[in-house]
Structure 1
Amino acid sequence: MITRLQTNPSIIVAGHRGWKSAYPENTLLSFQRAIELGVDMLEFDLRFSKDKVVMVIHDQTVERTTNGTGKVSDLTCAELKQLDAGGWFGKVYEGLKIPTFEELCELLASYPDVLLNVEIKPSPDAKEVADASIAILEKYDFIPRCIFTCFDAEVLAYIHDTYQLKTQGFPGELMSNYVPGEDGTISKMWAVGISMKLLTPQLVQDYERQGVLPWCYCPDTEQQVFYAIGSGSLLMTVNNPEPAIQIRKLIERKG
């Protein structure tokens, strides 16, 4: 399934942590609403709880997106589940919880066409998180839907070499443990995520020449979406999926 992106001529919209601009990020509600809006892919972040349950949360600590304190890795799954992961975004979202990866997979089972950008957060146990996450994905038969992302090039290479799975990296200056040269980290990357600050038509062409799919993040306005299209980057990981989806519909109508 993920391989269809190699030949896709249209805009592909990936919801960054779900529908991040409108709902509390990395919650089941955020993912559900992004799917209902029409995203093609979901991007989400994985890390271990203290008792090695794979949790869907971006930050190393819980302060920003919950009412708790401390490191995710210092709290058990049960302790993390006691936290409110929605109230910080708005009172109406009070009571939302940090999902386990299993809970997200249960939701995704009803949407077999949605692709998955699985980001393993850099940490001392990131390779172990990758192992556990891939085992869960295999149980649900989701692997064909997935690409794996990490800002740590060593973890990315581990996933590529150990499992022969498709990976998305980043420009070398944004990654830790990046190995330069054509046989280095770039050779492990199926796709690259380019921030809007770095995105240029020249950079897109450079990656295309190296056989790497040039994706971008986060074009969240109409102007940014049109710039991404003009630069040749058609897969867009977005905080707000609405502009990209509306522009895609407009292009398809005209086409």
Structure 2
Amino acid sequence: MIERLQDCEAVVVAGHRGYKSNYPENTLLAFEQALKLGVHMLEFDLRLSKDNVIMVIHDETVDRTTDGKGKVGDFSCKELQRLDAGRWFAERFAGLRIPTFEELCELLKAYPDVLLNVEIKPSFNAIEAAGGAIAMLKNTDFGAVRFTSFDAAVLAHIHDAYGLKTQGFPQAQMYNFVPGDNGTYSKMWAVGISMKLLTPELVEQFRDMGLQVWCYCPDDLKSVYYALGCGVTLMTCNNPVPALEIGRHRETLRSAKNGRNPLGGATVG
């Protein structure tokens, strides 16, 4: 499925940690709302709890996104799910919990066509987290999944041990980066570029290396149009609405012109 994105002309939108701009990130509510918007992909972050349960949370600690304090890996799953993961964002979201990856997978059963961007956060047990996530997805079409990490060693392991598609980042942003022809870039299918770094020249540089180019996070009309001007149609967004609206408008114009959908099947963004 993800091969549809190869040199794709349509605007393809991933919800960054769900619908992050409007809901508490990496909660089931944020994912549900992103899916209702019609995002083509969900991006989310995985870490292991103290008892080796795969949890959906971005930071190394729970301090920013819950009412707790301390490292994620110092809490058991039950302890993590006692924390409030919604009130920090707004009082009306009080009571939301940190989901397990299993709970997210259960939600995703109702959305079989949605692509997944599974980010493994750097940690001493990141490779274990990656292996656990891959095992849980064993009944999933891996053609719909892309694994992401800022740790080049994790990407290399996923690429070499499992033969799965990975997304990394420019060298200066990665840990354990290995230069050279057989280094980190050779293990990557795609590269994600921050809007702060995005230029047409950088996009061309990575395309010349045979990499698919994504950007993050174009969250308003101006930044979406800038990304398109740089030649990037694959976008991970905190606020998916502008990119989805522009994508649908472009697709309407393209369909009216030639009656063809570049991704095949149902129209996407």
Same fold (TM over 0.5): yes
The one-letter code of the counterpart of 1:84 is D
Q: Which runs of 5+ in 1 are unaligned?
A: none
Q: CA deviation at 1:142?
A: 4.2
Q: Which has the higher contact order (CA 8 A, sep 6+)?
A: 2
Q: Which runs of 5+ in 2 are unaligned?
A: 255-269
Q: Distance in 2 between matches of 1:54 and 1:155?
A: 16
Name 2:152's counterpart in structure 1: 153
Q: Per-residue CA shift, 1:63-119, capped at 9, x if unaligned?
A: 100011111000000000101111111111111110000000000011001000000
Name 2:263's counterpart in structure 1: none
Name 1:112's counterpart in structure 2: 112
Are 1:216 and 2:215 an aligned pair? Answer: yes
Q: Distance in 1 between matches of 2:180 and 2:109?
A: 39
| Superposition map of 1:48-197 within 5 A | 48-138=48-138, 140-197=139-196
Structure 1 stretches of 4+ with a deviation exceeding 3 A read none
Give the count of matched residue pairs: 254
Name 1:17's counterpart in structure 2: 17
The one-letter code of the counterpart of 2:16 is H
Q: Per-residue CA shift, 1:198-245, capped at 9, x if unaligned?
A: 111111111111110011000111010001001011100000001101
Cα root mean square deviation, aligned: 0.8
- Relative to the length of structure 2, the TM-score reads 0.93
Q: Distance in 1 between matches of 2:212 and 2:249?
A: 24
Q: Distance in 2 between matches of 1:180 and 1:86?
A: 41
Q: Secondary structure at the match of 1:8?
A: coil
- Relative to the length of structure 1, the TM-score reads 0.98
Q: Distance in 2 between matches of 1:249 and 1:116?
A: 21
The one-letter code of the counterpart of 2:213 is P
Q: CA deviation at 1:145?
A: 1.2
Identity of aligned residues (%): 62
Cα contact 2:7–2:212 (8 A) shared by 1? no
The one-letter code of the counterpart of 1:174 is Q
